[in-house]
Structure 1
Amino acid sequence: MAKNDVEAKLPHTAVAVWGGYVYQGKIALYHCISLMLENMNDSAELVLQLDSIDDFAVLLKDVCQSMHQVKAYKSEDFSSYAAAMAEQQKKSIEYPGCKAFFHVSKELVAPEDFGEVYSPVVIYSYNKKLGVENYCALSEVDTLLEEVLSQIYCKYYPGDKHKISTEYLVWSRNLLEDIVVRKVIAMHSEIQLSKGAVQRQVANREKIDFSMFLDVISRDLTSSVLCEDYFFSAILKDIGSYFSNFCEENDLQGADLDKLSRCVAQINRLDVVGLKSFICSILPDKKGRFSSLREYKDEAITSDDLQLGLFRVFDELIESNYSGGGRAANFYWELVGSNYYPTAIHQGPSSTGAICKRIVEGAIKHDVEFLYESGTLVTTDINAESIYSVVSVGVRGGAHQEYSKFNKFKDVALMSIANLPREIKK
């Protein structure tokens, strides 16, 4: 096979506008572990490259073995995919001997002359319990990943029966996904905050050795894997999924998509401590102990919080200021004499009293520092001149320090998007 020089080609990357990166990452992982199932020894030398040659590619000693395009369109009409297939066909010419696979999430009926017209492009096939199908829906990709992992454990580790338990397969899948999705998240964040050629260089240099997947599969995992890092990755994956859904449902494009993408990129740059602080700042009304990210994952952050709350706030306002320098509230809008902080609060006006009470109680219990600085919390639909009131909070008492904190809440307000100053509206 002629060597196709991957490093010399720095093609345009789609990561910068990749709302569905979590799904793409899962599809890339599915292909990688399918190759491992086929031949574990040979696959040890392979490398996964993300969003450079194509949405992802598999390399062997810098030679492209296969390129993969992933499309999660709503349409089942073949014509919706034809242009992308033709583009992949054209691109494949640059990589002699490389296979070209096209992945879709909806079942397609290809024309009879597909092989003749689009060769070497092939619509990727998935091995499912009911047979082989040429699509993988978003709702079934986790199950398919776990089925392949179960086959790997049965084939290569027949004596380790515990590895095919439902719980163990979920652990394995999540840890393997973390390898891919963390890499993509890091790329997404760096690319969103850079421009032009830097974007292409970032994507081109990011590769994952299959040995990293083999390490997870060969290890004997226990409940000890469920540490802060595990749930840190799980929350970031959820944020990515909710972001993707929001962009799709609201048909975000152009400057609006870029603005929200930069916000998500900043979130993805947070460390464990920063992520805890961020979640506290956008969900000041949530109850719970929140001493670990597992509790945040299980008890706090939901799809509605982000899609009906936070992302809507970011979408309908101008781009916020951002401070990563230890500030308790990372995102904010600043006008003369006033600071505005985004939240994920999306309940209606009838919930105002209960929300205010929860915010005050939670802020004191968990030391949500920025609430003691005064300012306005931006909600979708709730307005309150002050989150502090005898009616909503109850009778004050206790230590002087707690009483002092209560008093500071007199200067903290809730304001709906509709009532915000026009200077910070889009």
Structure 2
Amino acid sequence: MAIQHLPHTAIPTWSGFIYQGRVALYHILKQLNTKTENEINELVLQIDSIEDFTILKSIATGGHTPISIHQVKAVKSSLYSTYKEDFEQLEGKWTTLGSQTVEAFFHMATQNEKTKAQIEVLHPNMKIYEYENNAESCSLNDIDIKIKEQIVLALQKYNIVGHNNPDNVQLLSEILEKTVSDKVIYIHALNHGGTAIRNAAYDNPIPLQNFVDAIKTDIASLVLDEVYFEGKIRNNLNRYYQEFCLDCEDNQLSPELKTKMDKYSILFNSYGATAFKEFLQNIRPHKKVSYENLEKYTDLSISEDEMKDSFYQTLLTIKESNGSDGIGWVCSESKQYFPTCINSPDDERNKKRMSERIMKTALSKMVDVPFNSDYLITSACNVDNIEAYANNVSHVNHVDTGEAENETKITQWKKVSLIDLETAKNKLND
């Protein structure tokens, strides 16, 4: 596509992408359910370019032209003043496009104090997006329900069996969402490699036909293997992150903090399969990471509370990492700290139990100490010496593996302490 007349690009934010991507998917499914396949073949989805997402149509002279631009706002506020500047920005982009046939839609996760009609009087060049039953907003939880409802309608439209099977619909929703998230990750990878985010986003749209093809996937042929469950875990981590950011108070998540958190999330999403599993094991030293099948995925899956109350809270509270690979900190005393999702109370019973779990995991998985840490940051638990508390774990005091490398790993773990977030914050934010 030629980009010489491209308006100012939407600023990409990873925390917004989760909700934004699902809203885009919902809108696409509505297009699939209301348009002919020939019409669908002419349309593409563009993410984080002209707007948060844009639907473009192919033109006879080549390339595409926008038919609708969409701005998505996932905040808790119902105040009109919170959105006023964004409304004006969307109207400004509509004006810049210079086409009366383009529609500009604004999507809200929270019902506004002003009605759709009142807002559109104040901002006549845009529309508040309307969902089923005249709803003028759609929450993060509700958008998942609406996506599945549209998938059922699409299966019925294309005469595909399985529309009345919730498991089929769930699998399809994951496949469709991955179509969007994979493209976002690819765009950010291009940006990381030196391509301007504006160009990377504009030049890499998704044909809507791809979503039709996904709808027609033979669910029975899908293999629920490690690749599948890895995708589910990535999806969950992104959802927990989105919800964590949305739950933050308005004065808690400044633009600077949001940018910092987005950088972390982009980093985690960029990890390949091996690095991603190592990342999970490092932030969960008290649990073995394994997701080869449904049983292991269910038993050992990432905990929502651990991620929100410990890991993401740590990343939010402490200044930007100065450790290796973009995660971890070094204090003024040259001690190294690493965030975890350990969310355990600070009592003797839990200290002992957590220390034993960490040592058992280290022994069985031969886990490297993340970032050569002196301290692993927890939500509240403090342990001066993991080995001392893990006195019921065999082979902690006498390593008899016969392998120097393994003995080194166990020896390293003996030197690690657990430290609560508040204490770590005071040491690292000085």
TM-score, with normalisation over the residues of structure 2?
0.84
> How far did residue 189 of structure 1 move?
6.1
Q: How many residue pairs get matched?
A: 410
User: Is residue 2:44 matched to residue 1:47?
Assistant: yes
Q: Shift in Å at residue 103 of structure 1?
A: 1.3
Which stretches of structure 1, 4 residues or longer, exceed 6 Å deviation after superposition? Answer: none
Identity across matched positions, percent: 25
| 1:388 alignment partner, SS class | helix
User: Cα distance, 1:263 vs. partner?
Assistant: 1.6
Whole-Å separation in 2 of the counterparts to 1:31 and 1:264: 25
User: What is the CA–CA distance in structure 2 between the aligned matches of 1:84 and 1:408, rounded to whole Å?
Assistant: 51
Inter-partner Cα distance in structure 1 for 2:143 and 2:425: 44
Residues 64-79 of structure 1 aligned to structure 2 (within 5 Å): 64-79=66-81
Aligned twin of 1:87: 89
Are 1:189 and 1:262, in contact at CA under 8 Å, matched by a contact in 2? Answer: no
Q: Are residue 168 (structure 1) and residue 189 (structure 2) matched?
A: no
CA distance in 2, matches of 1:179, 1:314: 28
After TM superposition, give the deviation of residue 291 of structure 1 in Å. 4.5
Deviation at 1:305, TM superposition (A): 1.5
- 3-state SS, counterpart of residue 227 of structure 2: helix
Instruction: Report the residue type matching 1:126 in the other structure.
Output: Y
Q: For the Cα contact (< 8 Å) 1:381–1:417, is it kept in 2?
A: yes
Equivalences for residues 232-243 of structure 1 within 5 A: 232-243=230-241
1:139-154 matches, cutoff 5 A: 139-154=141-156
Shift of 1:72: 2.3
Q: What SS does structure 1 have at the residue aligned with 2:202?
A: helix
Aligned to 2:328: 332
> CA, structure 1 residues 332+28, in 2 after alignment: closer, same or farther (shift >3 Å)?
same
Match of 2:9, SS state, is coil
Query: Over residues 265-317 of structure 1, what are the superposed CA-to-partner deviations in whole Å (9 max), with x where a residue is unaligned?
Result: 21111012211111111011125755569845663312222221112222333
- Alignment partner for residue 207 of structure 1, among 202, 205, 208? 205
The CA distance in 1 between the partners of 2:375 and 2:421, in whole Å, is 11
Higher mean C-alpha deviation, range 307-316 or range 367-376: 367-376
Residue 236 (structure 1) shift: 2.3
Q: 1:296 to 1:276 in 2, by over 3 A?
A: farther
The residue aligned with 1:327 is none
In the alignment, what sits opposite 1:136? 138
What is the one-letter code of the residue matched to 1:412?
Answer: V
Does 250-259 or 330-339 show the bigger shift? 330-339
Indicate the residue corresponding to 1:378 in structure 2. Answer: 377
> Aligned runs of 1:17-416 on 2, under 5 Å?
17-41=13-37, 42-61=39-58, 62-95=64-97, 96=99, 97-108=101-112, 109-110=114-115, 112=117, 114-127=119-132, 131-157=133-159, 160-188=160-188, 198-222=196-220, 224-248=222-246, 249-250=248-249, 251-286=252-287, 289-291=290-292, 295-296=296-297, 299-321=300-322, 323=324, 331-334=327-330, 338-350=335-347, 351-370=350-369, 375-389=374-388, 392-396=391-395, 400-401=400-401, 404=407, 406-416=410-420
Which runs of 5 or more structure 2 residues have no equivalent in the other structure? 59-63
Relative distance call for 1:223 and 1:412 in structure 2 (3 A) is: farther
Deviation of 1:100 (Å): 1.3
Task: Please give the alpha-carbon distance, in whole angstroms, between the structure 2 residues aligned to 1:91 and 1:301.
Answer: 41
Q: Distance in 1 between matches of 2:412 and 2:339?
A: 19
Distance in 1 of aligned mates of 2:21 and 2:111: 20
- Mapped partners of 1:48, 1:57: distance in 2: 6
Q: CA RMSD in A?
A: 3.1
Deviations 1:356-404 (A, max 9, x none): 0000001111221226966322223222222113764345489711894
Is the 2:277–2:289 Cα contact (8 Å) retained in structure 1? no
- CA distance in structure 2 between the aligned counterparts of 1:424 and 1:315, rounded to whole angstroms: 13
Q: Does the 8 A contact of 2:360 with 2:393 survive in 1?
A: no
Partner of 2:61: none
Question: Partners in 2 of 1:7 and 1:213 — Cα distance?
Answer: 29
Deviation by residue 1:234-256 (Cα, 9 ceiling, x = unmatched)? 22232222223333315311332
Pick closer, same or farther for the CA change 1:51–1:342 going to 2, 3 Å: same
Amino acid at match of 1:38: T
CA distance in 2, matches of 1:234, 1:149: 19
